[in-house]
Structure 1
Amino acid sequence: MSQQVIHILDENTANKIAAGEVVERPAAVIKELVENSIDAGSKNIEIEIIDGGIKFIRVTDDGNGMSREDAQLAVKRHATSKIRTAEDLAAINSLGFRGEALPSIAAVSNFTLTTRLLDEPMASYVEIQGGIFADVREAGAGCGTTITVSDLFFNTPARRKFLKTPSAESGHISDIVTKLSMSHPQIAFKLISNQRMVLSTRGSGRLTDAIADIYGHKVTPELLPVEYSNEGIEVSGYVAKPALLKSSRQWQTFMVNQRVVNSRMMAKALDNAYFSLLPKNGYPLAVLDIHISVESIDVNVHPQKKEVKFSDDQKIYRAVYKAISSSLAAPGSHTQAAATVQSGPMVSQGLPGGSESYGSANVQPRNPNIIDSNTSVASRQWMPELWREESVSFSDVRESIKQEEQLTECATSVSRYTDDQLYPLGQIDSCYIVAQGQDGLYIIDQHAAHERILYDRMSRSKGRVPVQQLLVVQYLEFTNDDCDIITGNQDTFYQLGFTLEQVGPDTMRLIEMPADIPLADAEAVLRQILKLIAEMHQPTAQELRHAYLQMAACRSAIKAGEKLNMRQIQALISELYTTDLPYTCPHGRPTIVRFGPDELAKMFKRT
């Protein structure tokens, strides 16, 4: 007779195994308990932790509470009030629904639950030690529910040793409470760590208040509202102006129907919307919520409910991308984007070189009667009157003027400006342009400014990049592998403005090239594109186009050290403000820095 080797695990052991999926660290405990409090209709939720939640966690709410019978059932596996049948999984509106959180947490800690319904005189108290019921009785308590979790993983030392330091675990808890606070701004949250208040939100119902309570009131003026609706998808929330940068994605919160989720797709849409506005090491603040029918998502794809699955990822991606892009390009979104120099130590915002916080640029609308017909609608609303009666591009002036204008002509030109407009004063070190505005002194990086002009000019072409046909074709030599890449990506190179034909095993004939690139740079640019293709590992057409336009704009722009006369300076500033996003170059560096009257007064010790 064979020996039986398969057996059914006892409930306590099964709960400990399940706890490994649901409870990976104290922050996961906090998430599960707070989501239950949210589902209970709470208006106030208080979280208290000691030693990063490893030693002690307490979550108190003023929600609906439970009866004694429900309190005892709630800590049993697969006990839930959120669903009844498998069909209910297709239309889940609550945050918790699996019925695994409380028994899983109780299996690996010393756990107490105190809860009271509004119309009952006494509360119910349940105590569980390591998954085993220790006490059930009446207790005195206010309406709502309080849960304590102490000595987490005391009976599973293998899991406990994988926890980080208390300060690191506290950071994870702070991050999840921050995101939950913004997902439900109508609830007042408090987070207390080692008897110190770490976070407190007012619960006013306004998302801007929650963001200000968490990140500080100085953040509020830098926020741009996001409102988008199309094809049954609504995207709402806030993104920050390009000035407000952080070194990680910690300040990015993504939600689906008010459920906090991790979404690489939404993060990618955010990155691409900001593509030409940020440096490579910068991330913008974003708080975004997608509202979509519950039938279009599956929230049951992750044990901790951190991720959701969409029925149409590309549709969601397009909605998020368009929503953010529209906010960034909306009138008024960059009226305070010129960098303001602070007196004293510079405040780093994550930009290269310690770039400063941003203030107002006071850009005035241009006379609509003199707008170039090729200018986009978004640009027309932000073109300052920096020129005379006609629209003259910097490229035209750069080619046509070879000698510096006389100072008398410059003075005449300056006299045409009014008090609320920006006009140039001169050039510093053949690199920076100095200009005056009603609200202060402006310094413009001429290379970064021209980069933005060229990038936007090339980006406006929805199809192929504008090209120039070569009168004399160029023959370029590449390796066999590079020739294969060019031949295999002929359409991509064509869209980027290059027409190439292979005329030998290692020789390509260049027939057309982008109009804004000097002929002498053609080969270098082609080799850079090949390098981009290799580094980006099968980039999409959009990603490659963005990267190429950044590179092309940088190579074609005027350089630091190039002297400009006054008409060239005037034309450069004028054309800069015809771009959609004049305050950063395509790589995310600021193009303009402002010295406000207050900053100047402090520098000269007038205050």
Structure 2
Amino acid sequence: MGRIRILSDLVANQIAAGEVVERPASVVKELLENSLDAGASRIRIEIEGGGRKLIRISDNGHGMVRDDALLAFERHATSKLRTADDLLSIATLGFRGEALPSIASVSRLTLETRDPADEAGTVLEIAGGNILRVEDAGLPAGTTITIRDLFFNTPARRKFLRTEQTELSHIAALVTHYALANPTKHFELHSATQALLTAPSVPNAADRLFQIFGKDTTGYMLPIAAEQDFAHAGLPEPPPWKREPDYEPPAPGHLRLAGFISKPELQKLNRNSIYVFVNHRLIRDKLILHALTEAYRNIIPPTSFPVVLLFLEMPPEEVDANVHPAKTEVRFRQSAFVHDFVRDTVRTVLMQARPAASFAAALNNGRYGPESSLLLDVSPLPDGPIPPVFDPTREPATFPQSEPEPTAADTVPFTTAKSPSFTLAAPIVPPSPGRFAYPGHSIPVGYEATAPATHEPGTNGAPQQTDTLYALSTLKPLGQLRDSFILAVNEEGLWIIDQHVAHERILFEKVLRERTTEQVQKQRLLMPLLIDLLPAQMLSFAEIADELQRNGFEVEPFGPRTLAVKAAPVGLEGRELEQMLQEVLEAPDRNQQAENAEARRRRIAASIACHAAIKINQPLEPTKIEWLLNELAKTEHPTACPHGRPIALRYSHRDIQRAFQRI
């Protein structure tokens, strides 16, 4: 007798459930996406026992007729695909037709649904994949799905679930993601004891950001928007998007990027505050995460992560969502183009904004002060009640573009304005001042030559400078603090500048500039400097020898494990020169991705700048201090040193007044 046999439908569904239903949050994700695809404007989620005991999702979408309600639980039954060609232009969140039968095979499920055109609705009850009851009932238009006793018939799967608080935190993070992506829709998340999230519909993403994160975090966020043609012509017209009737898809061949990115002073310990959506789909894509890491390179420490809310819009033909069972990973047709576009756009906004760090944020390091509730992280929560993400009594506010002080930005009508194309092979052209808008995501963008201004209550509309580093050019030095920090003042307040990292930023940009123009200044050593290396470091030298030469080094092997340094960039000598070379020749971490040419160039430039810069505990003449401040003001990004440490901290005039109880 043969050994190969066809699995029963029950076993096949449970195997599919193992791919689709990883944990209770996976169930919520599939059902939530179905509600969004159904055009729902109000979605309510109820959770008990971390999702083990109960998951109930109710929406006011278009609902289903009786026949469709029965067909929905057949494998590969879907209303979103007709032919294989439709897989090339997926414009909905769900499409495979595996979620409902997979969930029903490992739970006790009740479906209540009614199409608005029908007089009666349908109630369908399933347990372990077997239909128990089908009957008509009087129901409101829309759909309610109740999941009880998840994994009741697969106890081995239940053993792999975490604590109730942990599973609930995963669900809360997921709902938060989709609330951010759909600001015009009403979301509610309730546990057995409290309302975890109540987010009424708001007109744009800025107000939703305020709802979820609060004033403190939104004060550290920068708006971002750009549009770029794809690198080829002749892209077919994308199909109409059916989720929102008034939605206008991008023009054929266009890639749009909009959202918010955090200032360098707002940093997190993990990537859980990075929210990325491609065509409204929540993704965790390594390509986009790498682009964001590259954009923040030399701006924040490599062990820290920004807060990011990004929306990528592109024709459905340019992205393949059918590469992962949970649909959390996608594949871009032109991945290098998308990567560089995201990296360069984010980098440009950071360079132009030049945000200044305040004392409060610096002492906090931006990690815990702003209202970044643990609920937004997918890491386990401590035992005890979970604080609500959004207080419904708090009124939405317009998006502030200054540090978190008691200010309110004037409301400006949103209009649509296209940004100039970004040419990746040439210097980046910044977005033009204006507004980038599409339904549900009206986002202010654009930066003037001077710092943006907001309006203080009680100042009769007088503009107030926001906290940027454009004011560095107006600083008047007072002296040094312990021969390490420069004290300076201007109309905005008192500034403290770290002399080492300030000089490091100046030299870093100078090294990159001279290396590009092949005008590196170098000096020959009277006697070659001999440096002994480990075998792995000798291999590293073979990889970066050409880059060292371009930066003014003359280095050659002097035996199997020794290097002879005959020339070096001006400013590097003695012990600092040897330490710099030892640093750049460190054996790479095998757990990290391979270093590309750009990353290698910036790493070497950062090491040269660090070891050649002015040190702490070094007295400076007044003329040297003035030169340092003037040169710092000319740099492209005076916010942080190449290793991510802040350069300048400002104690604002308002902070001083508040400290002395003047206001």
The aligned residue for residue 28 of structure 2 is 30
Query: Which among 138, 145, 157 is matched to residue 159 of structure 1?
Result: 157
What does the per-residue CA deviation read over 1:279-326, in whole Å, with 9 as the maximum and x for residues that have no partner? 233110111122222222221111111111122321211111111112
The aligned residue for residue 329 of structure 2 is 307
Structure 1 gaps of 5+ residues are 352-356, 361-375, 384-417
Q: In the comparison of the two structures, how many residue pairs are matched? A: 548
1:260 aligns with 2:282: yes
Who wins on radius of gyration, i.e. which is larger? 1
1:486 aligns with 2:484: no
**Is the contact between residue 228 and residue 319 of structure 1 (CA under 8 Å) also seen in structure 2?**
no
In the alignment, residue 560 of structure 1 is paired with which amino acid?
I
1:521 aligns with 2:576: yes
- C-alpha distance in 1 between matches for 2:569 and 2:588: 18
What does the per-residue CA deviation read over 1:185-219, in whole Å, with 9 as the maximum and x for residues that have no partner? 22221111224121232332411122221111222
1:145 aligns with 2:143: yes
The aligned residue for residue 241 of structure 1 is 263
**Is the contact between residue 577 and residue 611 of structure 2 (CA under 8 Å) also seen in structure 1?**
no
Query: Which among 170, 186, 209 is matched to residue 172 of structure 1?
Result: 170
**Is the contact between residue 225 and residue 257 of structure 2 (CA under 8 Å) also seen in structure 1?**
yes
The aligned residue for residue 477 of structure 2 is 424
1:273 aligns with 2:295: yes
**Is the contact between residue 487 and residue 502 of structure 1 (CA under 8 Å) also seen in structure 2?**
no
Query: Which among 632, 636, 646 is matched to residue 590 of structure 1?
Result: 646
Please list, as runs of the form range in 1=range in 2, the aligned pairs for 1:501-580 lying within 5 A after superposition: 501-518=556-573, 520-531=575-586, 533=588, 538-580=594-636
Query: Which among 493, 497, 520 is matched to residue 444 of structure 1?
Result: 497
> SS of 1:283's equivalent?
coil
What does the per-residue CA deviation read over 1:416-444, in whole Å, with 9 as the maximum and x for residues that have no partner? xx999431222111112221222222222
Query: Which among 41, 44, 47 is matched to residue 46 of structure 1?
Result: 44
- C-alpha distance in 2 between matches for 1:547 and 1:186: 43
- C-alpha distance in 2 between matches for 1:537 and 1:465: 31
The aligned residue for residue 62 of structure 1 is 60
Further displaced range: 477-486 or 141-150: 477-486
- C-alpha distance in 2 between matches for 1:380 and 1:423: 24
Q: Could you tell me how far 1:116 is from its partner in structure 2? A: 1.2
Further displaced range: 178-187 or 249-258: 178-187
The aligned residue for residue 350 of structure 2 is 328
- C-alpha distance in 1 between matches for 2:183 and 2:97: 26
C-alpha RMSD of matched pairs (Å): 2.9
What does the per-residue CA deviation read over 1:398-433, in whole Å, with 9 as the maximum and x for residues that have no partner? xxxxxxxxxxxxxxxxxxxx9994312221111122
The aligned residue for residue 350 of structure 1 is 367
> SS of 2:549's equivalent?
helix
Further displaced range: 281-290 or 455-464: 455-464
- C-alpha distance in 2 between matches for 1:129 and 1:505: 71
Further displaced range: 507-516 or 273-282: 507-516
Query: Which among 275, 291, 301 is matched to residue 313 of structure 2?
Result: 291
Kindly tell me: are residues 250 and 483 of structure 1, through their superposed partners in 2, closer, same or farther at Cα, counting changes over 3 Å? closer
Q: Could you tell me how far 1:126 is from its partner in structure 2? A: 0.8
**Is the contact between residue 25 and residue 163 of structure 1 (CA under 8 Å) also seen in structure 2?**
yes
- C-alpha distance in 2 between matches for 1:419 and 1:252: 31
Identity, % of aligned positions: 38
- C-alpha distance in 2 between matches for 1:537 and 1:274: 17
- C-alpha distance in 2 between matches for 1:458 and 1:585: 14
- C-alpha distance in 2 between matches for 1:377 and 1:457: 21
Kindly tell me: are residues 484 and 284 of structure 1, through their superposed partners in 2, closer, same or farther at Cα, counting changes over 3 Å? closer
- C-alpha distance in 2 between matches for 1:483 and 1:17: 50
- C-alpha distance in 2 between matches for 1:10 and 1:338: 62
Q: Could you tell me how far 1:58 is from its partner in structure 2? A: 0.9
Kindly tell me: are residues 78 and 307 of structure 1, through their superposed partners in 2, closer, same or farther at Cα, counting changes over 3 Å? same
Taking structure 1 as the reference length, the TM-score comes to 0.84
Kindly tell me: are residues 59 and 585 of structure 1, through their superposed partners in 2, closer, same or farther at Cα, counting changes over 3 Å? same
In the alignment, residue 502 of structure 1 is paired with which amino acid?
P
1:183 aligns with 2:191: no
Further displaced range: 534-543 or 441-450: 534-543
> SS of 2:76's equivalent?
coil
Taking structure 2 as the reference length, the TM-score comes to 0.77
**Is the contact between residue 339 and residue 590 of structure 1 (CA under 8 Å) also seen in structure 2?**
no
Kindly tell me: are residues 50 and 227 of structure 1, through their superposed partners in 2, closer, same or farther at Cα, counting changes over 3 Å? same
The aligned residue for residue 123 of structure 1 is 121
What does the per-residue CA deviation read over 1:95-138, in whole Å, with 9 as the maximum and x for residues that have no partner? 10100111111111111111111222222111111111111112
What does the per-residue CA deviation read over 1:441-475, in whole Å, with 9 as the maximum and x for residues that have no partner? 22222222222222222233462582314164624
Kindly tell me: are residues 478 and 143 of structure 1, through their superposed partners in 2, closer, same or farther at Cα, counting changes over 3 Å? same
The aligned residue for residue 102 of structure 2 is 104
In the alignment, residue 257 of structure 2 is paired with which amino acid?
V
**Is the contact between residue 273 and residue 308 of structure 2 (CA under 8 Å) also seen in structure 1?**
yes
Query: Which among 561, 572, 581 is matched to residue 637 of structure 2?
Result: 581
> SS of 1:246's equivalent?
coil
- C-alpha distance in 2 between matches for 1:347 and 1:214: 20
The aligned residue for residue 413 of structure 1 is none
The aligned residue for residue 95 of structure 1 is 93
Further displaced range: 464-473 or 566-575: 464-473
In the alignment, residue 597 of structure 2 is paired with which amino acid?
A
Q: Could you tell me how far 1:570 is from its partner in structure 2? A: 2.0
The aligned residue for residue 553 of structure 2 is 498
In the alignment, residue 627 of structure 2 is paired with which amino acid?
A
In the alignment, residue 322 of structure 2 is paired with which amino acid?
N
Kindly tell me: are residues 602 and 67 of structure 1, through their superposed partners in 2, closer, same or farther at Cα, counting changes over 3 Å? same
**Is the contact between residue 448 and residue 591 of structure 1 (CA under 8 Å) also seen in structure 2?**
yes
**Is the contact between residue 356 and residue 649 of structure 2 (CA under 8 Å) also seen in structure 1?**
no
Kindly tell me: are residues 171 and 534 of structure 1, through their superposed partners in 2, closer, same or farther at Cα, counting changes over 3 Å? closer
Structure 2 gaps of 5+ residues are 231-253, 369-401, 406-427, 431-446, 452-470
- C-alpha distance in 2 between matches for 1:420 and 1:543: 30
Q: Could you tell me how far 1:519 is from its partner in structure 2? A: 5.2
The aligned residue for residue 393 of structure 1 is none
**Is the contact between residue 473 and residue 633 of structure 2 (CA under 8 Å) also seen in structure 1?**
no
Further displaced range: 266-275 or 430-439: 430-439
